Structure 1
Amino acid sequence: MAPSLPPQYEIRVLGPEHEEWARAICLHTNMFHSPLWPVVYPENITQRLYKSFQAAHYLIKHQIDSGYSLGIFNKNYQFKRPESVATGGKLYWNFVDENATESELEEQMDFPLVSIAMAYDGINELDMNQIMPLVETLPLFATIVKVVEDRDTRDPASWKPTGPRQVLMRNATNTMKAHSGHGLMRLLAEEMMRQSAAAGFRGIQIESANNAVLKVWSNPPEPFKGTITCQFHTMTYEEKAESGETLYPFRPADLPIARIYVDLC
């Protein structure tokens, strides 16, 4: 029997009022708890978090504006500060204290949203010029995009959308550390699959830099089918420097990075 959502949680479509919260969860989780980013960029994590947060506004807003991004909310959430009640939650990062710790920053995230699954309709492509500030804070993000594109040997005509509600593009799935271990990522992923199929989408594409995400999306529940269309491993991926030296830019991170396509029909 498939696991069900614990009673204190509910899944809702994310709206504009949740953009800052979703962005905070995305960047806080990636900078401190990802098996990739804090490993390849271990220095000045809080400073990089602040810069990435500012740079990711367009990416998160684009996906929320699509109407297809989902979040899990804690219905029993108790606000930490009374001033958060008026707006239903608030983020208190000051973007000045670069010595703030992971736990201090999480304490300043005073809102009921605990897990996100971001997505947008593939026909409304991202404006890469507006993504560049984020790439500048995480240069290997651009490497991932290029390597995955180069290794995906599918004929674009076989999967790319030609109109709305054909292919959903999944980008970012994150759960706050305090709520991890309850299977929320899987539940949110499978709900997105069901909702997308009901809306008429024929497929969902996602890039994974996390073993748990790879497992969930490549093994969806029936009648859906997940296929790993391409992948590479961070320990063995290499580049050649102008000097001829072999470089391993993702080491010491040790995980597969994959593109997955889920057939919904």
Structure 2
Amino acid sequence: MSSPTLPPRFEIRKLEPKHLTWAQAIVTWTNSYKSPVWTPIYTDMPRNAYMLYNTSAYFVNHGITSGHSWGVFDTEYEYKHPESAQAGGRLLWDPSDMSATEDDLLDQMDFPLVSVGLAYDGINEIDMAQMTVMMEALPLLGTLFHTLETRDQRDPASWKPKAAGEVLLRNGTSTRGRYEGMGLAKALAHFIMRDAAAKGFRAIQIETANRAVEHIWLNPPPPFKGEIVSTLHTGEFEEEVDGVKVKPFAPSSVLCTKIYLTLV
């Protein structure tokens, strides 16, 4: 399924279970090497990247199996290896290779999926028990989402879904290296907004940890309207540990937001 706002060589398609490892790799690579929150904190690479990849299957698959997650595919992608071309794309990471660099891991993502937008119906909540292993790879992820949740002063009854098809929850926005600056994330976000509206959803909620993503969701195409409902600044956030105030996200310093996008 194409989008008129995309450059001609790209197209948007629904993510399927066969794309799971590719989507995991893109989410892993961007959060490991390009995240203004996580990259300054978790620096033991590629060990941390492999750990995040190995523990993210449930998180990514929850979005894919929902039927509400989409990806941007490069229809002119040139494969680097014959076996990848024969298979229609392959992930070639070797978790035992601790000498792999950021560019090595990027080169080993030998498949045409280049950007992902993960989402799921809010009535089908994530099983936090299955998120435990991923939290070991990103220990502060729970702190981030819990704080944004507790700072959201809205009455839950005013926005939380009571049935399927009411509120879509976005939980992953990633564009792999060498494809930034092409407008892919914006085109994909607008597509997801319109798709959700066409399916009858009344709203989309998304947590952002990147000012560019925040800008996209606060400036949607009309008639949609986005508003910030809670924030956390990683450079200012403090918590008390053994009677001492610490900044657990240091040296990260970025404004994280929860945004509620009204569709109707």
| Range of TM-score over shorter length | over 0.9
Aligned twin of 2:37: 36
Residue of structure 1 in register with 2:88 after alignment? 88
Partner residue of 1:256?
A: 255
Give secondary structure in 2 for the equivalent of 1:231.
Answer: strand
TM, length-normalised to structure 2: 0.97
Query: What is the CA-CA distance between 1:45 and the residue it aligns to?
Result: 2.0
1:149-202 CA deviation, whole Å, 9 max, x = no partner?
110111111011111111001011000111001111111001000000000100
1:178 aligns with 2:178: yes
> Is contact 2:224–2:263 with CA below 8 Å preserved after alignment?
yes
- Could you tell me which runs of 5 or more consecutive residues in structure 2 were left unpaired when the two chains were aligned: none
Tell me the number of residue pairs that the alignment of Structure 1 and Structure 2 aligns: 262
Are 2:78 and 1:99 aligned? no
Opposite residue 38 of structure 2, the aligned amino acid is: W
DSSP-derived class of the 1:160 partner: coil
SS of corresponding position for 1:235: coil
Q: Is the 8 A contact 1:123 1:164 kept in 2?
A: yes
Quote the Cα distance in structure 2 between the aligned partners of 1:45 and 1:230: 31
TM-score normalized with structure 1 length? 0.97
Alignment-mate amino acid for residue 12 of structure 1: R
Deviations 1:203-258 (A, max 9, x none): 0000000000111111211100001000021111111121x221011122111011
Query: Unmatched 5+ residue regions in structure 1?
Result: none
Q: Residue 228 of structure 1 corresponds to which residue in structure 2?
A: 228
Matched, 1:195 2:198: no
> Alpha-carbon deviations, 1:32-53, whole Å to 9, x = none?
01111111112x1211111111
The amino acid that maps onto 2:208 is S
In structure 1, what is the equivalent of residue 22 of structure 2?
21
Q: 1:75 corresponds to which residue?
A: 75
- Mapping of 1:203-242 within 5 angstroms? 203-242=203-242
Partner of residue 145, structure 1: 145
Aligned partner letter, 1:169:
L
Contact 2:84/2:110 (<8 A) preserved = yes
1:248 partner amino acid:
K
SS in 2 for 1:226: strand
Contact 1:38–1:45 at 8 Å: present in 2 too?
Answer: no
Residue 129 of structure 1 and its aligned partner are, at CA, apart by: 0.7
Give RMSD over aligned pairs.
1.2
Matches within 5 A, 1:123-134: 123-134=123-134
Partners of 1:166 and 1:87 in 2: CA distance: 38
* Structure in which a larger fraction of residues adopt helix: 1
Using the alignment, how far apart are the partners of 2:68 and 2:16 within structure 1? Answer: 10
